Amino acid sequence: MMPFGGSDDGLPGWPQMRAFAAHAEAVGLDSVWVCDHFLSGSGDAPAAAIHEGWTILAALAASTSRMELGQLVMCVSFRSPQLLAKMAVTADHVSGGRLVVGLGAGWYDPEYVAYGYPTDHRVGRFDEALQVIGQLLRGQRLTFAGRYHQVRDAELLPPPERPIPILVAGNRPRMLRLTARYADAWNTAWFGLPDERLRQRLSNMDVALRAEGRDPATLRRTVGIEVGDPGTDDCLFTGTIDELAQALDAYEALGIDDLIVNLVPCTEPSLDRLASAIAIRGHR
């Protein structure tokens, strides 16, 4: 995950973000990810500053050359599905075909209230938006009359240059069914070492895939993990480079395709630790 938000005096600027992404690419990481919030916060904590996700992703598309660019995740409440699909095609073009469109239903009420978005029926709205976005990203002309979204004879011009993959993040039964029905990839987060909670979520996803009659091998599974430098407080996983390599091996053994790593702190030296752990896997 990119360094993206924080208190006003600790908010990373674009030069810092650009340097972080360039370093991630230089040390061989496969992808870099942004989030999508207008205010950063959780629970009762005061809201903190954060950059706008699509703008930063477009800048990353132009300033990197190899890594996949992902979104964990874009909130479908904040943009019409037609506009979101249009933005995705443009960003994918700028990146040379490296975009993963991550989508979620949203959850943080203070930003909804502050920016004037409805908080009701979030999963119902997500269901409709996912259908619209998916069809447009496959290059289809679309008319859609839903409860929350209406589209009349819409298409993306220029059209997508490739099938842009859609990732959905969610854990509850309805979100899992929507993932199984419409998505190319799935994310569940946040974890340290693999645990029973993760195994249960993987099992629940398998149940949803079977219910949709879908081959489990066709879904890309991603897991968000939080990795702190040794001695970091309140972090889900801390340990030596060797212990981190063992953790990566454990996720692979569970059949996880990709790990999306939130580093604490989110710095270039922490990137180096992660790259070292990846490098020693299989050579211990």
Q: Distance between CA atoms of 61 and 47, rounded to whole angstroms?
A: 28
Average pLDDT over the chain reads 95
Q: Which residues contact 165 (CB under 8 A, 6 or more apart)?
A: 100, 101, 184, 185, 220
Q: Which residues contact 221 (CB under 8 A, 6 or more apart)?
A: 185, 186, 202, 205, 255, 256, 257, 258
Looking at residue 43, what is its pLDDT?
Answer: 66
Number of H helices, E strands in the chain: 9, 13
pLDDT at residue 158 above 80?
A: yes
Domains of the chain: 1-169 (3.20.20.30), 180-284 (no CATH)
Looking at residue 98, what is its pLDDT?
Answer: 98
Written as one letter, the residue type at 190 is W
Looking at residue 40, what is its pLDDT?
Answer: 87
Q: What is the pLDDT of residues 111-129, one digit of tens each?
A: 999 999 999 999 999 999 9
Alpha-carbon radius of gyration of the chain? 19
Cα distance from N-terminal residue to C-terminal residue, the chain:
27
Looking at residue 41, what is its pLDDT?
Answer: 77
**Rounded to the nearest 5 degrees, what angle is found at the Cα of 270, between the Cα atoms of 269 and 272?**
65
Q: Distance between CA atoms of 90 and 100, rounded to whole angstroms?
A: 13
| Pairing, β 150-154 against β 166-169 | unpaired
Nearest to 32 by CA among 75, 54, 61: 61
Average pLDDT over residues 137-158: 96
Q: Which two tokens stand for residue 19?
A: 């340097």
Q: Residue 144: what are its φ and ψ, rounded to 5°?
A: -140, 125
Q: Which two tokens stand for residue 219?
A: 């879904």
Looking at residue 68, what is its pLDDT?
Answer: 98
Looking at residue 5, what is its pLDDT?
Answer: 82
pTM (two decimals): 0.96
Q: What is the pLDDT of residues 22-71, one digit of tens each?
A: 999 999 999 999 999 999 877 677 788 999 999 999 999 999 999 999 99
The DSSP secondary-structure symbol of 40 reads: B
Nearest to 39 by CA among 52, 26, 27: 52
For residue 46, what are the CA distances in angstroms to 20, 35, 113, 278?
Answer: 27, 19, 14, 36
Cα torsion 247, 253, 257, 263 to 10°: value is -10
Nearest to 24 by CA among 284, 280, 266: 266
Q: What is the pLDDT of residues 252-275, one digit of tens each?
A: 999 999 999 999 999 999 999 999
Average pLDDT over residues 143-169: 97
Q: What is the pLDDT of residues 177-211, one digit of tens each?
A: 999 999 999 999 999 999 999 999 999 999 999 99
Average pLDDT over residues 232-241: 94
